[in-house]
Every structure is written in structure tokens, then in C-alpha cells.
Structure 1
Amino acid sequence: MFGTISGEVEVNAPASVVWEVYSSLQLAAIVEKGLTDVVEKIEVVEGDGSVGTVLKLLFRPGVAAFPYYKEKFMMIDHEKRVKDVMVVEGGYLDVGFERYLIRLEIIDKDEKSCITKSTIEYDIKEDYAANASLVSIDPLMVVMNLAAIHILAKTN
């Protein structure tokens, strides 16, 4: 079973400034620092923030549906400002998902603002279809809003 869900946040900062955060390890640092009630730690397993980088996200006990997952930066397109991140171990893969991809896009609105868009694409085995309810855009909306606050604080 295939599914997709997305959400958007407008940011009053230039797309190039926002992309600088989203295209690097800065976003992980913002999440680790800003979501301490959910995220215990984010470790860089390998890489420097470029394609091929693997992060391990460890969640606080009892907060998430699983204790951790690893994600890999599959594609970073600086021209189109799109980044694809795939869960490659643990988490969703342990509860019946065959594929769980997060696409982050920065869309120009005008010179001083842009839209951050997050899309989740997933495939789940039919036997585990009930676990599709674990997919929610809400955590990514929190991340996008947290990033926007961080970016605005640095640019103003």
C-alpha cells in the first residue's frame, strides 16, 4: 500500500537562507536542541551532511512508536532546493514499512519569503496496513516551524 502526505510552512526569509539550513546538518542540530522532550540524541553515523550522510535519531522512551531509526540523505539538489531523506534502519521499517521517504523542499515566494514543504512517501506491506496510522505530517510541521523560528532569530 502506497501513501503520501505533505504540509507547508511560510517563512519570512529568503529561500537561499532557509535552504542553507535544510541542505546541511544544521537542521538536525536545530531539532536535537529544540525537541529535547522527544529526541534524546541525533548522531551522525557517517558523512558530512552531503548525499550519503546517515543520521541515527534516538527518541525518548515512551514518546515515539519506536526507540530509534536511521535515515540517509539520498538526494540533495541545490538548484531545485530539494532534499530526499530515506529511513534505512529501524523505526518505520520495523513495523511493516518497506519504504519511508521524507522530501524537503524550499519554494521561492518572493525575495524575502519562501515556503518550506515536507512530503512523506511510504509503502507498507498489506499485512501491516493498520500501521499506516503511524504516518503523520505533524512532527515535520513542528520541525519546519522550529527551523523557521531559528532562521528568523538569526536573520533579524
Structure 2
Amino acid sequence: MITGIIVDEHTSPVAVERLWKASIGDMRNLMPKLLPQLVSSIVILEGDGGAGTIMQHNLNNAVKEFAFVKDRIEVIDHENHIFKYSVIEGGLVGLKLSSFTAEITFSSTREGGCLAKVKIEYESLEDGSLLSEGDVISIKEGNLAMIEAVEEYLLADPNAYV
């Protein structure tokens, strides 16, 4: 096994509190609504939404390799806007990876918007082989699509998640 790291960031004109509340605080309801072509539902299997909660993200046919991703919330810090989760089943875990952990942090920008940073750490199943460039691009594009969908929704409705 070999360990890899993927980092990405996105600057949004939406204030940190609104982006956090919508994308992290209400992801279970909002993602299937905003991205129905990808996410059919997000179900809490165990827990109350805090650390230790296990959720299953059920995906639509647009994702060919897998039908769901099951993750466990490791950290959800509403005050400091830090969200960390581990994929425990589904997704690339079991196909190409033995582990996948992501940390997302939001911070305010001087302009009144938000900087979202994503750091993903993973271990590959195969010795000496990191994820392909195509897989890394796909992961980054998926994260960006989610943030941009929420951002677009919030910009269109300035009264949502205030």
C-alpha cells in the first residue's frame, strides 16, 4: 500500500456561515435536491449528525463504478468550520483504496466570502500505485461540483441559510 494526498481549494463569494450551514449542516437534504443526477438520497444509518455518525450516500446511475458511499463523521466543528469524514464502505474503498479520509475547512475571506479547502488522504490497495491522474481529477471535480451547486443555490436565494 502507498499513501496519497489530494488537496484542493475553492473561493466562494458566499459567507462562510451560510456555505457551512447549507453544504455541511444540511447536506443530507440539500445534495439530493441540488444534484439529483448524482445523489438520490443521503441516509443516516447511525448517530445524530455529530462525530461518529454513519451516513450512506446513495448514488444514481451517473456513477458507474459504485452505487453508494458509506462514511463516518470523524469531526464536525461548527464553530471553527472543520468537517472530517472517513469512507468506511463503497466508493473507491475496496475497489482501488483501502482507506479514504477527507477534511474540509471553511474560512472567511476579506471580501466577505469563503475559502473552502479540501485535504484527502488515502491508501491504495495496490503496492506502489497512487490513484491515476484521472481519478484525482474526478475526485476534485466531484467536490467542486457539490460546492458550486450549493453556492449557486445560495446566490439565487439570499434568504436561504441565513
Find the counterpart in structure 1 of residue 122 from structure 2.
Answer: 122
Q: Work out the CA distance in 2 between the residues paired with 1:23 and 1:60.
A: 21
Matches within 5 A, 1:48-87: 48-61=48-61, 63-87=63-87
Contact 1:120 1:137 (C-alpha < 8 Å) held by counterparts: no
Scaled by the length of structure 1, the TM-score of the pair is 0.85
Q: Work out the CA distance in 2 between the residues paired with 1:35 and 1:47.
A: 24
Q: 1:124 is aligned with what amino acid?
A: S
Instruction: Report the RMSD for the aligned CA atoms in angstroms.
Output: 2.2
Matches within 5 A, 1:5-154: 5-24=6-25, 26-61=26-61, 63-110=63-110, 112-127=112-127, 129=129, 132-133=131-132, 134-135=135-136, 136-154=139-157
Scaled by the length of structure 2, the TM-score of the pair is 0.82
Deviation larger for 92-101 or 119-128 = 119-128
Q: Structure 1 unaligned runs (5+)?
A: none
Look up the SS of the partner of 2:18 in the other structure: helix
**1:87 CA drift (Å):** 0.3
Contact 1:23 1:49 (C-alpha < 8 Å) held by counterparts: no
Q: 1:20 to 1:39 in 2, by over 3 A?
A: closer
Identity between Structure 1 and Structure 2 (%): 25
Q: Deviations over 1:97-121 (max 9, x none)?
A: 1210121110111262111222222
After TM superposition, the runs of 4+ consecutive aligned structure 1 residues lying more than 4 A away are none
Contact 1:13 1:114 (C-alpha < 8 Å) held by counterparts: yes
Look up the SS of the partner of 1:64 in the other structure: coil
Look up the SS of the partner of 1:79 in the other structure: coil
